[in-house]
Amino acid sequence: MRYRVVFMGTPEFAVPALRALLESERVLAVVTQPDRPRGRGRRLRPSPVKEVALAAGLPVLEPERLKDPEFFKRLQELSPDLIVVAAYGKLLPREVLELPPHGCWNIHASLLPKYRGADPIRWAILEGETETGITLMLMDEGLDTGPILLQKRTPIGEGETGGELYERLSRMGAEALLEALALHKEGRLKPHPQPEEGASYAPPFKKEDARLDFHRPAQEVARRIRAFDPRPGAYTFLEGQVFKLFRPRVLQRESPEPPGTVLGVEEGQLLIACREGVLAVSEVQLAGKRRMSVSDFLKGHAIFPKTRLGRPQEKPEDS
């Protein structure tokens, strides 16, 4: 038995789930966010989900408002058994939630009730979690508050970045969806309410949230670098220019220098003093340049010991 499914999703995270549905169910249509300006040229570009849907020959719906009567009429005409949602980007109104007989299922990249909201992956890294996962839930009108259908757990790697975890969880989400579909068809998928204890939220980040503060412990600074790798990239300032740092390690040593002071280069890593511990980064990116290893960067740029990283107007101190 193949369910008649409408899929709702927008970014790359949702693509593996859509591909899985194309193999296992009858996908009637895809709902995604309208084309948005993207990239350096800010040209209108389709979402990753739209690109896959068009390549598969599927109808694509791009409503500006989910309460648009014409959109709802189209959904009624499609008459899906199930709506599957993955990082669509908007809450679903009640009339949409109540339309399919098997409900609306959402693939969420956290172990609910922790990290409800738009950016659970980066928040999990920032908060120092050692484990995360995928929750498949039956949607209600709240923000990621619906009953849990299935959860899958996974450790967060010691040096794993936001981008790496994003890709891994997107694949896990597709696998969890296929497992849940099989259980549902056998009558063995039973929703259970989310516990209220331990609930937390993961609101979207602003660009300035990626700015580094070396007055924090090196462990916290390293987590921020990992969380915002590759986009937008955690940054500080070097001689007034945006300077992004990648691939951090924490050295269990202390420095008498003020936080943000470059201590030198050791084994291809730039060493930076923090409030507690020393940060070692192996990749950097100066504004307008490509990301590169510290060794390659130093072939064309000099960073002297006691250079201070920090505010845009700060200049390096005399060495």
> Domain locations in the chain?
4-185, 207-300
Q: How confident is the model at residue 313 (pLDDT cuts 50, 70, 90)?
A: low
pLDDT value at position 311? 67
The predicted-structure confidence for 207-238, as pLDDT tens digits, reads as follows 999 999 999 999 999 999 999 999 999 999 99
Cβ atoms 263, 255 nearer than 8 A? yes
Helix (H, G, I), strand (E, B) or coil at 13: helix
Supply the pLDDT for residue 275: 96
Write the CB contacts of 98 (distance below 8 Å, at least 6 apart in sequence).
Answer: none
Tens digit of pLDDT for each residue in 126-167? 999 999 999 999 999 999 999 999 999 999 999 999 999 999
Give the pLDDT of residue 318.
Answer: 41
For residues 37-45, average pLDDT: 81
Angle, helices 15-24 vs 162-185, to 10°: value is 30
140: its two tokens = 């209600």
The CATH homologous superfamily of the domain defined by 4-185: Formyl transferase, N-terminal domain (3.40.50.170)
Measured between alpha carbons, how far is 151 from 69 in angstroms, rounded to an integer? Answer: 34
For the chain, give the percent of residues with pLDDT over 90: 92
Domain 207-300 sits in CATH at 3.10.25.10
From 92, 76, 72, select the one nearest 84 (Cα to Cα): 92
CA proximity to 89, closest of 114, 69, 106: 106
The answer, yes or no, to whether residue 36 has pLDDT greater than 60, is: yes
Per residue in 172-188, pLDDT (tens digit) is: 999 999 999 999 999 99
The predicted model gives 255-283 an average pLDDT of: 97
